[in-house]
Structure 1
Amino acid sequence: MPASGLALVLAVALLVALTLAVSRGSTSLPPGEVWAVVARRLAGDAPRPGTGDLVVWQLRVPRALLAALVGAGLGLVGTAVQALVRNPLADPYLLGVSSGASLGAVAAIVLGLGAGSALGLSGAAFAGALVTFALVWAVARRGGGFAPLRLVLAGVAIGQFLSGLTSYLVLRAGDEQQTQSVLFWLMGSLGGATWDLLAVPAVAVPAALVLLQARARGLNALLLGDETAAGLGVDVGRLRRELFVVTSLLTGALVAVSGAIAFVALMVPHTCRLLVGDDHRRLLPLSALGGAVLMVVVDLVCRTAMDAQELPVGVVTSLLGAPTLLFLLDRRLGSDR
Structure 2
Amino acid sequence: MSKKLAGYGLLCSIILLLTLLICVGTGPVSLPIGQIARILLRQIPILGQGISIDWSPSSEQIVLNVRLPRIVLGMLVGASLALAGAAFQGVLRNPLADPFTLGVSSGSSLGAAVLIFFGWQYSLIGALTLPAVAFFSGVITLWIVLWLAKEKGKIPTESLILSGVVMQSFLGAVVAFLTAMSKKTINEILYWTLGSLSLRGWSYTAILFPYVIVGLVVLWSYARRLNLLALGEREASHSGLDVERTKFIVLVVATLLTATAVSVSGVIGFVGLVVPHMIRMVTGPDYRLIVPLSAICGGIFMMWSDLAARMVLAPTEIPLGIITAFLGAPFFAYLLCRNKKQRMGVNS
Interval of TM-score (by shorter of Structure 1 and Structure 2): over 0.9
Question: What residue is the counterpart of 1:329 in the other structure?
Answer: 336
Give the partner amino acid of 1:277: G
Q: Is there any run of 5+ residues in structure 1 with no aligned partner, and where?
A: none
Aligned length, in residue pairs: 334
1:171 matched to 2:180? The reply is yes
Cα gap change, 1:229/1:194 in structure 2, threshold over 3 Å: closer, same or farther? same
Give secondary structure in 2 for the equivalent of 1:42: coil
Match of 2:313 among 290, 306, 314: 306
Cα drift, residue 2 of structure 1? 3.9
Q: TM-score, normalised by structure 2?
A: 0.91
Task: Check whether the contact 1:118–1:197 (CA below 8 A) recurs between aligned residues.
Answer: no
Cα gap change, 1:284/1:148 in structure 2, threshold over 3 Å: closer, same or farther? same
1:127-152: per-residue Cα shift (whole Å, max 9, x none)?
11111011111122254333222111
Give the partner amino acid of 1:122: P
Cα drift, residue 120 of structure 1? 1.5
Give the partner amino acid of 2:203: D
Question: What residue is the counterpart of 1:19 in the other structure?
Answer: 21
Query: 5 Å matches for 1:1-337?
Result: 2-43=4-45, 50-115=57-122, 118-175=127-184, 178-337=185-344
Give secondary structure in 2 for the equivalent of 1:12: helix
Q: TM-score, normalised by structure 1?
A: 0.94
Higher mean displacement: 180-189 or 259-268: 180-189
Task: Check whether the contact 1:22–1:60 (CA below 8 A) recurs between aligned residues.
Answer: yes
Task: Check whether the contact 1:86–1:148 (CA below 8 A) recurs between aligned residues.
Answer: no
Give the partner amino acid of 1:311: I
Q: Percent identity?
A: 37
1:152-183: per-residue Cα shift (whole Å, max 9, x none)?
111110111011111111222222xx312431
1:81-134: per-residue Cα shift (whole Å, max 9, x none)?
001211101111000000000001111111122347542211111111111011
1:295-321: per-residue Cα shift (whole Å, max 9, x none)?
111111111112231111111111111
Give the partner amino acid of 2:215: A
Give the partner amino acid of 1:144: G
2-side partners of 1:160 and 1:85: how far apart? 22
2-side partners of 1:319 and 1:327: how far apart? 13
Task: Check whether the contact 1:139–1:154 (CA below 8 A) recurs between aligned residues.
Answer: yes
2-side partners of 1:270 and 1:289: how far apart? 14
Cα drift, residue 214 of structure 1? 0.9
Higher mean displacement: 109-118 or 249-258: 109-118
Task: Check whether the contact 2:80–2:212 (CA below 8 A) recurs between aligned residues.
Answer: yes
Cα drift, residue 294 of structure 1? 0.7
1-side partners of 2:153 and 2:341: how far apart? 28
Task: Check whether the contact 2:87–2:251 (CA below 8 A) recurs between aligned residues.
Answer: no
Give secondary structure in 1 for the equivalent of 2:28: coil
Task: Check whether the contact 1:118–1:256 (CA below 8 A) recurs between aligned residues.
Answer: no
Q: Give the superposed CA RMSD.
A: 1.9
1:265-323: per-residue Cα shift (whole Å, max 9, x none)?
00001110111111111110111111111111111111111223111111111111111
1-side partners of 2:213 and 2:153: how far apart? 35
Task: Check whether the contact 1:118–1:257 (CA below 8 A) recurs between aligned residues.
Answer: no
Give the partner amino acid of 2:329: A
